[in-house]
Amino acid sequence: MKAEKITLGKTCLDNYVIEQAELSAERKKELDELIQQREEGGVLNIERFLLRSLKLEKTQLPTIDPCFLSIPNFIDYKGQQIQVPKFSVYNKIHNGFDPFIMNIISDSFLFSYENRVKFCNGDLAKLLTNQLIKSTEFWEASKPSENNRKYYDSTYYFYGPRKLWKKYKKINYITLKNHFHAAIPKEKKQKIKEFNEIFDDNLYLIAETKPKDWFSTRFVKDLLLIGVFKDKCYLVDYFETESIEDKIKNEFKI
């Protein structure tokens, strides 16, 4: 696919996208043959993995550097200004839509205060979580060593300055969530289904999240669809949605 100009909110993502080199006719033919052989072959996990790898190469999707997810934003919460990501990543998209409406919940962060600050991010690929956490003040404040940053069981634990602990002790506990609802174009929903097979459920929607969008349900106009495979992010699509109200009016000619 040829990447078009991509903007989420006021952030242009064009510089993060890398186009793939054009496949030769010989390689395309070879891929077709290999894919056919794998589809007719066994059902072992390694066979499925190789088949998905071949199909992905054939798509020639551009890659996208996920480091844009480390861009921060700020919100006021319980009298404290806290640093949060500028973008939300939604990962339950393969089973989250009916004939034309998608309603998704983002459980983007969990902060808790014990003798440390804890961060976890559901079932996201670690490749994405690693960038999202860099948008927080925990990452900046903690020294990059094994003692101050630890990761296990899908959770980051930070041992940072006392000043940071005191700040989050006042907050005590915060779960940052936002919901969005939107009418996804029919052809885009079909694309989501097709590529979900290639990426084995590692398919994600990304949207800008403004400070006022946290703890709310909102309409999202622009969405980025990415897939993660073998520690790389691929740009699957970028598209505009339609509000549910407008979709209903158009469907039923109201």
* pLDDT tens-place string over residues 81-122: 888 889 988 876 544 433 333 333 344 444 444 444 555 555
pLDDT for 142 beyond 80:
no
Q: Are 90 and 153 in contact (CB under 8 A)?
A: no
Q: Quick one: which H or E segment has residue 61? A: none
pTM score, whole prediction? 0.82
Provide the pLDDT for residue 39.
Answer: 76
pLDDT band with cut points at 50, 70 and 90 for residue 150: low
pLDDT for 138 beyond 60:
yes
Q: Which two tokens stand for residue 151?
A: 């990761």
pLDDT for 232 beyond 90:
yes
| Phi-psi sector, 154: left (phi>0), alpha (psi -120 to 50), beta | left
What value does the mean pLDDT take over residues 1-15? 81
> Concatenated DSSP letters for 178-194?
EEEEEE--HHHHHHHHH
What is d(CA 239, CA 188) in angstroms, rounded to the nearest whole number? 8
Residue 176 or 1, more confident:
176
Provide the pLDDT for residue 245.
Answer: 76
pLDDT for 145 beyond 60:
no
Q: Which two tokens stand for residue 51?
A: 């088949």
pLDDT for 23 beyond 50:
yes
3-class SS of residue 22: coil
Provide the pLDDT for residue 41.
Answer: 65
Cα-Cα-Cα-Cα dihedral sign, residues 216, 222, 223, 224: negative
CB atoms within 10 A of CB 30: 13
What is d(CA 69, CA 128) in angstroms, rounded to the nearest whole number? 8
| Strand-pair partners of 102 | 97, 182
What is d(CA 109, CA 122) in angstroms, rounded to the nearest whole number? 8
Provide the pLDDT for residue 109.
Answer: 42
CB atoms within 10 A of CB 72: 14
CB atoms within 10 A of CB 24: 9
Q: Which two tokens stand for residue 47?
A: 């066979």
203-223 pLDDT, tens per residue? 999 999 888 888 788 888 899
pLDDT band with cut points at 50, 70 and 90 for residue 236: very high
Residue 35 or 70, more confident:
70
pLDDT band with cut points at 50, 70 and 90 for residue 178: confident
